[in-house]
Structure 1
């Protein structure tokens, strides 16, 4: 694996949450010695995991790792104890299971972990997979995963909220501007959009959120964390100190 340290640092400090998450994935692969890493949130409407970003896996393997793995016996221990991060050696039979022997080992992986993300009431809202070519999963990788759990959890919550209302990336950007009290003209200047385009987007946002005006949209956005990266920013900075 080769890494562009300057690009990684730029991503980690980016004001754009998606870029920060990409930087976090690269950081975990670099500093945590993970050859493959995948981050996904669980869409509460569809009831399935949706990949946010991944490195080191083929598309078929990435799809497998997010497709109903909670029903597979080799992942039962992880889903029953989602506070803990287990590697293959801590899950009896994982190495010889279908996931271990037929999916991951043919791709060159010989150990790995699954970190489940959950909300304040214990509902699973996302997950992180990390796999390595070596037989032993590095302790630094587990430690970094645990330290960065709040950042991934916060971002998974944001993605779930956005998915619930089917807001597009542009609509989230505009909603964040509305939340910060910006006028349509100020939003247009910041995002290089015409006032008419901004107005059209805001009308769509109000319909999707089911609120009559931008004031209530801003209140709703603040309560649900929509359009705000503050939680993810703070938790990621804390993890990297």
Structure 2
């Protein structure tokens, strides 16, 4: 595959990691992570992690979404910071006793971010190694959650497109300005085959033109122009 058309699907992850780095530098927290809905309805996948151990990440991406009652509370709170102290008997929960307290966390919050917040499309998790937090921390985290929304939207867009490897290759060639005939010659296929790929790409991406889909793909880092 031409270097210019090599798939690049990591831009939202890079953006998310940059946002977490800024959050960790600006808010006195011990760890932060963004999890996002994946292919399975009962699990998330990790978009970015800043300091959580692997076992904690596994719980937040799988058990928290599938079994933990606090996941529904996060969706109900939408983009508001819901701290441990706001949840009755939180310290007696499985999440606190078996996941967070053993690794040194003493307070924290999980905030629904991005689109479809009521259903928890994505969550910003933040934990602290102390319980006496400044009241200003809540509004700060709510603001950071809003900043993370763009990265979440971009990643969900990439997941929804579900382009095949060949469609990604055709999209990359569209992005560098090749016509259907030129793409057919490059890939040693017929123009009809290319036209079918282009039609499928536009339909999957919800785009009305080659220019529009190429521009959005470049913005997401899916292709190089």
Q: TM-score, normalised by structure 2?
A: 0.69
* 1:67-106 map, 5 Å: 67-70=62-65, 71-106=67-102
Q: Which residue of 1 aligns with 2:177?
A: 183
| Alpha-carbon contact 2:124-2:145 (below 8 Å) kept | no
C-alpha separation between the residues in 1 aligned to 2:52 and 2:97?
15
Q: Which residue of 2 aligns with 1:13?
A: none
Match of 1:219 among 208, 212, 215: 212
Q: For structure 1, which runs of at least 5 residues remain unmatched after alignment?
A: 1-15, 186-194, 230-241
C-alpha separation between the residues in 1 aligned to 2:148 and 2:172?
20
**Mean alpha-carbon deviation: is it higher for 94-103 or for 45-54?**
45-54
**Mean alpha-carbon deviation: is it higher for 119-128 or for 106-115?**
119-128
Considering only CA atoms, is the larger Rg found in Structure 1 or Structure 2? 2
Match of 2:162 among 163, 166, 174: 166
Q: Deviations over 1:170-227 (max 9, x none)?
A: x88995895xx64249xxxxxxxxx958x9xxx6974763659x973443566xx554
Q: TM-score, normalised by structure 1?
A: 0.65
C-alpha separation between the residues in 1 aligned to 2:147 and 2:136?
17
C-alpha separation between the residues in 2 aligned to 1:173 and 1:143?
44
Match of 2:146 among 145, 150, 154: 150
Q: Deviations over 1:125-165 (max 9, x none)?
A: 21110001011344454333222333322211211121122
| Alpha-carbon contact 2:113-2:120 (below 8 Å) kept | yes
| Alpha-carbon contact 2:202-2:209 (below 8 Å) kept | no
Match of 2:113 among 99, 113, 117: 117
Q: Which residue of 1 aligns with 2:201?
A: 209
Q: Which structure carries more relative contact order (alpha carbon 8 Å, separation 6+)?
A: 2
Aligned length: 198
* 1:121-136 map, 5 Å: 122-136=118-132
Q: Which residue of 2 aligns with 1:228?
A: 219
**Does residue 47 of structure 2 align to residue 55 of structure 1?**
no
Q: For structure 2, which runs of at least 5 residues remain unmatched after alignment?
A: 1-10, 180-184, 221-225
The alpha-carbon deviation at position 66 of structure 1 amounts to 1.3
Match of 2:104 among 86, 104, 108: 108
C-alpha separation between the residues in 2 aligned to 1:150 and 1:168?
32
Assess, with a 3 A threshold, how the Cα gap between structure 1 residues 144 and 67 changes in structure 2: closer, same or farther.
same
Assess, with a 3 A threshold, how the Cα gap between structure 1 residues 63 and 182 changes in structure 2: closer, same or farther.
same
| Alpha-carbon contact 1:40-1:52 (below 8 Å) kept | yes
Q: Which residue of 1 aligns with 2:34?
A: 39
SS in 1 for 2:140: helix
